[in-house]
Chains A and B, each alone.
Chain A
Amino acid sequence: MSKQQVSERRFIFLSLAPIVLLFAVFSILPIGIGTVLMFFDYSPLSSNVPFAGLKHIRELFADELFYKSLRITFVFVLVAIPANIAFTLMIAVGINKIRGRFWKNSFRTMFFLPAIAPLAGSAVIWTTMFNADSGVVNMAFQMLGLPQIDWLTDPSTALLSVIIMTLWADVGYNIVLFMAGLDSIPESLYEAAELDGASPWHVFWSITLPMLSRTMLFVFIMTSISYFQMFPQFQIMTKGGPLYETYVLALNIYDQAFTYMNMSYASAMAFVMLLIILVLTLIQMRIGRSQWEH
C-alpha cells in the first residue's frame, strides 16, 4: 500500500469514525439491547433480571390492546400517507408552475415553515385550536352555522383531527422533495408533449408522474417509516383516547415502558414494530424498483 493510499484510508477512517460511533451508540446498541431485553423481565428498580424466554412474545399475541394499537397505526398510515403524497404533489406541481423565482421561493418557504416548528409545539397549538369550547376551529364552524364538534374527545373524530394536524405539520419536507424531483425532469419532454398537443392532465399522467417515480418511492418509504413511528401529537393531543381510538403502536410502547414500567414487554412490542417497518420497506423497494435513468 502506497503512502498516498494509507493517507487516504486514514482520512476516510477519521472522517467516518464520529458518525459511525454515534450510529453504533445511539442506534445499533439500543436496538441490540432492546432485542435482548424482550427475553428477560427487566425492571429499572431491581438488580435482578430473570430470564423470561418467549413469555413476552406470547403475551403480546394474546393482548387485545396490542392488536387495537396495531390496527389504529395501520389506519393512520393508510389514510395519512396517501393524503400527504396527494396533497404535497399537488402543491409542488402548483408551485413549480410559478414563473417568478421570488414567488416560487416564497411559497416553498411558506409551506416548509410548519416543518421547522417542533412537532410537540405544533401539537399543543392544534390542541387549543381543536378545543371543543374555545377552539378556533369550532368558532369558525359556529360562524358558518355548522354544528360544534368535540374534535379530540369524540371517538369518531379524534383520529381524523390528529391526521389533519400531522398533514399540516409534515407537508413541507415532501413538497421540497417533490419540487427537487420536478426540477430534474428534462424540459424537452414537456416541449415535445406540447408540440403533440397533449392536455395538461395527460402530461401529468404520462410524463410528470412516471418521471417522479424514484422521488415518489423515496418519499413513500421515508414517510411510511416516519408515520409508523409517530408519537408526539398522539401523546399531546389525545393520549391515545378516547376509547383507544388514537392509540398508535408507538404510544402503546411508550406507555408499557415508561408508564407501567414493563420494559421487556415494551421491547417485544418495539421489535415487532421494527419487523413491520423493515418488511414493508423491503416490499416498497421491491415494488418501486425501476430500471431506467435519465
Chain B
Amino acid sequence: MKKTLEWIMTLMLTASLALAGCSSSGNNAANTDGEGGDKPIKLVWWVHESPSFVEANKKLIADYKKVKPHVTIDLQVFPYDAFVQKIRVAMNTKTPPDIVQMFGTWVREYAKNGLLEPAPNGAELEAEVYPAAIGGFQYDGQVYGVPHEFNIENGAALRYPKMFQEAGIDKDPATWEELIEDAKKLTKRNGDKITVRGLDITSNDSIVFYFLALIQQQGADFWNEDRTQVSFSTPEAEKAMQELVDLVNVHKVTDLSKLGTTEEPYMVFFKGQSAMTTAGPWTIAEGINTFNVQDFDYMPIPSFTDHPAVFSSESGWGEVVSKQSPNSQAAWEFVQFMMEEENALAWNLQTSSIPANKHVAEDPKYLESAPHVKAAVEALPNGRWIGPLADRDYFFKVIIDTFAAIAYNKKGLQDGLKKAETDINKMLKSKQ
C-alpha cells in the first residue's frame, strides 16, 4: 500500500509540475522589492508584435534606464492575435502585466470592469491630446491611459505619383468627383479583370471608415444623442453606402477579389496592384522597410461634400496600467516619461505614427523629420472619436458584411442597412 501511495504522490507531483510549467507569469512572478525609494523595481510591459513599434519601445526603455536606473522594464512582445487573447485572459487575474500597450477602442471594456488604474493627471491629458485620440481612453469621467498615436485610417491616401503622371493627372483631386475621375483613369484592366485598382477601398478598415466618414461629411451622424444606439436608416447612410458600392459596381475602380483575404489594401498597393489606396500613415514604414518601395507619397482625400473632410478615428495605440499592478506608481511614471514631448516625438518618428499629443504634432520639427505624413497631419483637426463601439470587431464586421451583401446584390441597400443597424444596436444594448 505504501508503494501505491508513493506511486500516486509521484504521479500527482509530475502532473502539478507539468501544469505549473503551462502557467504564464505576470508581474508577480518576476517582482520587486517594493515601490518607492531607489529599491529595484521590475515592470512588465506587454506589447504586440510590430517591428517599428518594438524598436521604438526598446529605445524608450533604454532611455528610461538612464533616468531611473533602478527600474527594469521587461518588454514582452506577442503576435497580434495571441496578444489580444492574452490580455483578455491575464487582465482579470492577480498577476497581470503592469503596463499594456492597448488599442484605444479596447480600453473602455477593461475600464468598465475595473481592471485599469485611472491616470493621475487625466485633466492634463485631456488638454494635451487630440479629442479623437483620447476618446477611447475615457470612461465615466476618468482617463484610463495615454494614447501615443492618433489612429488615422482615413482622410489621406497612399499613391504612386508616376502612375498619376502616366494617366495624365497633374494635380491632386480637389473634390470627390475629381477623385473618382482620377481613379477611373488610373484603373487598368486585362479584359474584365482589374490589374491595377484606381482607388482601393476593399479592406475591413477602409470600408468602415469610409462609410462613417461619408455619413459625417454630409453633416450627419451615425450615433443617437447619448451614443447608445446607431442609425443607418438615414438618407445620409444610404447615400454613403451606395457610393461605396458604386466604386465597385458602377465606377469599377476596384473589385471584391481581395475582400476578406489577408491581403490588406496597403499590401496590394505596395505590390503595385493599386494606384491609390486609403491607409494609415503607419503603412509608410511598412512600405519602405518590408516591401522595399520608395516611389510613393501620401495625398489628402477630398471631402464627399462641401462640408469639411471629417472622419472617425479609433484613438490609436497607447499605454494603460493594470489596477492589480503592485508598482502602479512606477508604471505611471514610465508612461508619463513616454508622454514627454521629446520622447513622444522620437517614438512617433520611429513608428511612422501620427502624434496623439497636439504639441508634438504641431511642432515644426515633426513635419521636418516626417514630411511624407503632411497630408495626415493636416487632416487631424477633422478627426472625430469613433464613439463607444463596445465590441469593435463585431461593429466593423457587420458593416463589412452589409457592404459585401449589397455589392454582391444579395441584399437591397435599405434592407441591408436596416439589418446592420438592428444587429449593431442589439450588440450595443447588451455590451455597452
Contact = CB atoms under 8 A, between A and B. Distances in A.
Interface residues of A, number: 28
Contacts of B259: 153, 241-242
Interface in A117-159: 127, 132-133, 148, 150, 152-153, 155
Contacts of B171: none
A46 B85 contact: no
Interface in B62-96: 85, 88-89, 91-92
Nearest to A239: B260
Given A21-B15, A153-B260, A260 B85 contact: no
Nearest to A43: B113
Contacts of A242: 256, 259-260, 404, 408
Contacts, number: 62
Interface in A46-87: 46-47
B224 interface: no
Interface string B252-284: 000011111110000000000100000000000
Interface string B380-415: 000000000001011000000100110010100000
B221 interface: no
A80 to B, nearest CB: 22
A198 interface: no
A153 B193 contact: no
Given A14-B7, A45-B110, A243-B408, A259 B393 contact: yes
A167 interface: no
B257 A153 contact: yes
A45 B91 contact: yes
B73 to A, nearest CB: 25
A258 B256 contact: no
B335 interface: no
Most chain A beta-carbon neighbours within 10 Å: one of B85, B257, B404: B257
A280 interface: no
A84 B410 CA distance: 32
Given A153-B260, A155-B408, A243-B404, A46 B92 contact: yes
B24 interface: no
B11 interface: yes
B128 interface: no
A30 B296 CA distance: 52
A5 to B, nearest CB: 14
A18 interface: yes
A261 interface: yes
Given A155-B408, A242-B404, A243-B410, A45 B113 contact: yes
Interface string A254-274: 000011110000000000000
A40 to B, nearest CB: 14
Most chain A beta-carbon neighbours within 10 Å: one of B89, B261, B408: B261
Contacts of B262: 127
B260 A238 contact: yes
Looking at chain A's contact residues, is the secondary structure mostly helix, strand, loop, or mixed? loop
Most chain B beta-carbon neighbours within 10 Å: one of A10, A153, A244: A153
A44 interface: yes
A239 B393 CA distance: 14
Nearest to A13: B4
A171 B15 CA distance: 36
A244 B408 CA distance: 13
A90 interface: no
Contact of B257 (A14, A44, A132, A259): A132
B115 interface: yes
Given A46-B92, A133-B257, 19 more contacts: A14-B4, A17-B11, A44-B89, A45-B88, A45-B91, A45-B92, A46-B113, A47-B92, A127-B262, A133-B273, A148-B193, A238-B260, A239-B260, A241-B259, A242-B256, A243-B404, A243-B408, A260-B394, A261-B88
29 contacts: A14-B4, A18-B11, A21-B11, A43-B113, A44-B88, A44-B89, A45-B92, A45-B113, A45-B115, A46-B113, A127-B262, A132-B257, A133-B257, A150-B257, A152-B261, A153-B257, A153-B258, A153-B260, A153-B261, A239-B260, A241-B260, A241-B404, A242-B404, A242-B408, A243-B405, A258-B85, A259-B393, A259-B394, A260-B393
| 7 tightest A-B CB contacts, nearest first | A241-B260, A45-B113, A150-B257, A46-B113, A153-B257, A260-B394, A259-B393
